[in-house]
Amino acid sequence: MDLGFIGLGKMGFPMARRLVEAGHALVVFDQRKEAVDKLVALGAKAAASPKEVADRAETVLASLPSLQASLEVATGTGGVIEGKMIKRFVDLSTVGSHMAVRIHDLLAKRNIVQLDSPVSGGVGGAEKGTLAVMVSGPKADFEVAKPALDVIGKVFFIGEKPGSAQTMKLANNLLSATAVVATSEAVVMGVKSGLDPNVMIDVINAGSGLNTASRDKFPRSILPRTFDFGFATGLMVKDVRLCLEEMKALGLSMEVAEAVGRLWEVVMRDMGPESDFTSAIKPIEQAAGV
Ligand code: NAD
């Protein structure tokens, strides 16, 4: 049975490649023809639009960079909603629960099931197939999609309530966003007083300060000053804003989340949306004069 895959970017490409390598017949589409061509060279089949993917596959996965892109690909003109064969749309993107419910409701009118399936673990996790995959939607459709999702990572069924996997993902990403800026502040404080940042990270990773920024982002991207971890500042800010909206909708006001949100808006302003999110340390260094 053919599977579909739309959105072959930093995350989508390695996920789709793993599916092809695992023996799935994959029909793919991306606005960037070069990404489609690279995957066709590995054995996938090309489609000319999201609709065409959904004409040829019962299960269509997508990994897209914005809420608008997910909405258009799912429900716009030429979207999967017009496909002849599609039964379920598996959105691996982070869109927040409000947008996930909107897409769910529009697809339901055409009897297409949405499996809301955001992922965590970065480009490295997508390449190795070690992502955390959080899924909400009907259990029976989850069981159908699970063998494909098993290829991209460790799969968690969050619940049947539409959008609940997005809430899980935003809780996770609030912690990831916090780890980057909090660890940057801690290291910049040390550097300002004369400590060696390499020694600091070694100590933090052996001590109780250990977190995903100290363990992964500092050694691979921040300490070598390559700033190429593979997640754009604009996407991190999207997730932090979505998390704050989610809290507001729940009637919550949370101090750490709001401070982290303000700091990421500064990173967005100073570094731009296309910068790698590990560049968040730069405005913190600048403010500290180091
Ligand atoms: P990306 O910008 O690298 O890739 C997005 C891809 O979608 C691009 O290839 C683009 O050409 C394509 N695209 C955009 N609009 C399209 C459309 N209308 N039709 C077809 N193709 C379209 O983004 P990414 O970093 O791969 O992130 C994708 C999603 O995964 C986002 O929701 C992001 O928040 C989430 N995510 C990213 C990471 C990460 O580390 N990069 C980690 C976890 C989750």
Of the CA atoms within 13 Å of residue 159, those in its CB half-sphere come to 9
Is the model's pLDDT at 20 over the cut of 80? yes
Q: Identify the three-state secondary structure at position 265.
A: helix
Which range has the worst mean pLDDT, 1-5, 29-33, 64-68, 208-212? 1-5
Per-residue model confidence (pLDDT) at position 1: 64
Per-residue model confidence (pLDDT) at position 80: 98
Q: What's the CA-to-centroid distance between 266 and ligand 1, angstroms?
A: 23
Catalytic residue among 10, 87, 146, 169: 169
83 shares its domain with 185 = no
CB count, 10 Å around CB of 180?
29
Per-residue model confidence (pLDDT) at position 183: 98
Does residue 65 line the site of ligand 1, with CB under 6 A?
yes
Closest ligand 1 atom to Cα of 173 = 43
Mean pLDDT of 167-175: 97
Q: What's the CA-to-centroid distance between 19 and ligand 1, angstroms?
A: 17
146 shares its domain with 224 = no
Is the model's pLDDT at 166 over the cut of 80? yes
Average pLDDT, the chain: 97
How many domains does the chain contain in total? 2
85-120 pLDDT tens trace:
999 999 999 999 999 999 999 999 999 999 999 999
Distance of alpha carbon 68 from alpha carbon 173, whole angstroms: 20
Mean pLDDT of 124-149: 98
- Boundary (domain end) residue, out of 161, 186, 202: 161
The complex scores an ipTM of 0.99
Does residue 7 line the site of ligand 1, with CB under 6 A?
yes
Is the model's pLDDT at 222 over the cut of 70? yes
150 shares its domain with 185 = no
Mean pLDDT of 271-280: 98
129 shares its domain with 270 = no
Does residue 235 line the site of ligand 1, with CB under 6 A?
yes
18 shares its domain with 116 = yes
Segments forming the whole domain that contains residue 143? 3-161
Check which CATH number belongs to the domain holding 42 and give it. Answer: 3.40.50.720
- Boundary (domain end) residue, out of 161, 186, 209: 161
49 shares its domain with 193 = no
Cβ 20 vs Cβ 26: under 8 Å: yes
pTM of the model: 0.94
Amino acid at 66: S
94 shares its domain with 127 = yes
Residues 6 or more apart in contact with residue 20 via CB below 8 angstroms: 26, 39, 42, 43, 44
230-262 pLDDT tens trace:
999 999 999 999 999 999 999 999 999 999 999
Percent of the chain with pLDDT over 90: 99
Q: 2: pLDDT confidence band, cut at 50, 70 and 90?
A: confident
Burial (CB count within 10 angstroms: exposed 0-12, middle 13-18, buried 19+), residue 183: buried
Residues 6 or more apart in contact with residue 162 via CB below 8 angstroms: 97, 100, 101, 104, 105, 114, 116, 136, 137
Does residue 70 line the site of ligand 1, with CB under 6 A?
no
Does residue 221 line the site of ligand 1, with CB under 6 A?
no
Q: What's the CA-to-centroid distance between 166 and ligand 1, angstroms?
A: 16
107 shares its domain with 44 = yes
- Boundary (domain end) residue, out of 107, 142, 161: 161
157 shares its domain with 218 = no
**128 tagged catalytic:** no
211 shares its domain with 92 = no
Per-residue model confidence (pLDDT) at position 191: 98
186-212 pLDDT tens trace:
999 999 999 999 999 999 999 999 999
Do the bridges between strand 59-62 and strand 119-120 make them parallel or antiparallel, or are there none, so unpaired?
Answer: unpaired
CB count, 10 Å around CB of 91?
29
Per-residue model confidence (pLDDT) at position 119: 98
Check which CATH number belongs to the domain holding 263 and give it. Answer: 1.10.1040.10
Per-residue model confidence (pLDDT) at position 165: 98
